[in-house]
Amino acid sequence: MSLLGSATSRRRAGETPSSALPPRREVRQIRHLFRYLGPYRWVIAAAVVALCVSAAAVLALGQGLRVLIDDGLGGEEATRLHEALMYMAGMVGLLAAGTFTRFYLVSWLGERVIADLRRAVFGRLVSLSPAFFEINKVGELLSRITTDTTLLQTVIGNQASSAIRNLLLFLGASAMLVVTSPTLTGFVVLMVPVVVIPIVVLGRRVRRYSRIAQDRVGDVAGHLEEALGGIRTVQAFGQEESSGARFSGHVEAAFRAALSRVRARALLTAIVILLVFCGVGLVLWIAGRTVLQGEMTGGEMTAFMFYAVVVAGSVGSLSEVYGDLQHAAGAAERLAELLGQEPALAPPPAVARPLPQPQQGAVRIDDATFRYPSRPDAAALESFSLSVRPGETVALVGPSGAGKSTVFNLLLRFYDPDAGGVALDGIDLREASLEAVRGSFALVPQDPVIFAASAWENIRFGRPDAGDGEVRAAAEAADAAAFLDALPEGFDTFLGERGTRLSGGQKQRIALARAVLRNPAVLLLDEATSALDAESERAVQEALERLMAGRTTIVIAHRLATVQKADRIVVMDEGRVVAEGTHRALMARGGLYARLAALQFDDGRAPSADPFDAPADALGTAPRSAAV
């Protein structure tokens, strides 16, 4: 179960949790892949031609065996033997050429389609709102993009063509059996239901176990991503052993699920092989008696047995391929679930309203009420209204859970309010394109995200088309250029997974450089200097003041110094605005704001690092059911 969310919240999210959908048991789930095959029809056509050529060459070998035995070995002239051998050699050469062409084309097709599929799944995932990721483990989603697509690559690039080839061989060899000996063919036909019934029955079991096994592998990936992503916390609290024990539990569960699938698959293959070759032995015995009675020649019996073996081998291979297809159906179903997810955000009208240019940065939230999908019983904002004039700096303060971060989430349109509206420069965000809305904001979070890339790429994330000179200028404005130049390869240095090669303050300055480079209409600051030492804070604060000058800025404020510089302070509690004004006016009025500010200097104690993020119960107010 995911660490976040519940069944109720999942239903409300609008984006169904991938693990909660009911399993389907049909190989038809693979039909979802057909749309990705469409652009490569010519490759499929060429592969089918090569496949038909190789199948025809195999069937022609049976006639070559008949001629070789009846005319070559049974005849008096060596010429017939030579001709039969040349014929056989030609068919083998044709078979080799057709097999090479088929294998190359279908392998290319498998790799190409899976690459397209991975892009499509990733594109769909990044388009989904944060609500989806509240109720789904990232590790499981990674498993679907990697493990499941790899399995499908094997099916498309190998098993699918093998299935068609064996089907053609089965049909062709069956026809040749009828031509060679209709009587003996009747015995072969009687064996078909005996073989097909176990394939269908056991194949369904393989399909069910395959889905379960893939889900358990997703659990392994989810725990692995969670543990390694929080390795510092795991080690800091000495939880290496317990984390390893939980991981071992997931691994063992995956092993047991895989073992059930393997057992069912092995049983399916063994039963088919047993039935097929017992039937071949029976037919061989009957054919031998027919030859002894003079009703067939030795060459005809050899050809018949050759085709019987081809039919038996084709059926056996088809049973194995059917097991693979059942396995792949689970992967296709899981990927189809992701591709079928629709963003919870309502799409804009057919023609989105453009935002005014140049943008002024006027922000307005009217009577907004919002509940997080994972916490539907607790309102994060309740009848919340906020108006910010162009160029104004507004500080949001309040205890933990007051709804400050939720305001940012609505402005960036990670979510839409359940009631009320959010507008930028007089345009409702739901009527504008998502790209235009988010392009108007720049967020500097308290906990910045650093990607596993160079400093160039990390800063350029704010504006991908920026040149190197603009990137360096942004880094200098954020007081980041000096420490980046000091790295082993300067701006080209790989910063490590999640910026492990940087300090907390350095990460913050990279995030600030992104915002400088973006040059947005509205700047959103989640106490952007909170992770900096005193010297760096002074330098970055100067850069921030330059960036904020004449620009609409909304700050989630944790420090008194930040609050005092704001044009206006909005005090929030339990998702509502309880007071607003300047620092001096609010202190004179008393109430919640005055108590928050007093936490820094109460009884002569050292200032609190986060006085405006204190829990509600520390202020003598009722505790909230959920933090925001």
* 30-59 residue pLDDT tens: 666 777 778 888 888 888 888 888 888 877
At the fourth CATH level, the homologous superfamily of domain 354-440+560-622 is P-loop containing nucleotide triphosphate hydrolases (3.40.50.300)
Report, in angstroms and rounded to the nearest whole number, the Rg of the chain calculated over CA atoms.
35
Give the CA distances from residue 173 to residues 3, 5, 37, 178, in Å, rounded to whole numbers and listed in that order. Answer: 56, 57, 29, 9
* Residue 364 pLDDT: 92
Arithmetic mean of pLDDT over the chain: 76
At 183, list the tokens: 């009587």
| For residue 605, pLDDT beyond 70 | no
pLDDT value of residue 546? 75
22-339 sits in which CATH class?
mainly alpha
Domain boundaries, the chain: 22-339, 354-440+560-622
Q: How far is CA 482 from CA 86, 458, 478, in A?
A: 78, 16, 10
Residues 6+ apart with CB under 8 A from 61: 88, 91, 92, 95, 306
Identify the pLDDT of residue 229: 64
Confidence class for position 24, pLDDT limits 50, 70, 90? very low
What is the pLDDT confidence band of residue 389, given thresholds at 50, 70 and 90? very high
Residue 457 is predicted with a pLDDT of: 87
What b/e readout covers 355-386, taking b as 16+ CB neighbours within 10 angstroms?
A: beeebbbbbbbbebebbbbbbeebbbbbebeb
Would 22-339 and 354-440+560-622 be classified into the same CATH topology? no
The DSSP bridge partners found for residue 486 are: none
Summarize pLDDT for 454-486 with one digit per residue, the tens.
888 888 888 888 888 888 888 888 878 888 888
Give residue-wise pLDDT tens across range 146-204: 777 777 777 776 667 777 777 888 888 788 778 777 777 777 677 667 767 776 777 67
The 10s digit of each residue's pLDDT in 529-540 is 665 667 667 766
Give the pLDDT band of residue 348 (cuts 50, 70, 90): low
According to DSSP, residue 378 is labeled S
Confidence of residue 99 (pLDDT cuts 50, 70, 90): confident
* pLDDT (tens digit per residue) in 78-91: 566 667 677 778 87
As given in the structure block, the two tokens for residue 445 are 């979070």
Q: Report pLDDT for 18.
A: 45
- Express each pLDDT in 525-580 by its tens digit: 887 666 566 766 776 677 777 777 788 999 987 776 677 778 899 998 888 888 88
On the question of pLDDT at 22 being above 80, the answer is no
**Is 60 exceeded by the pLDDT of residue 76?**
no
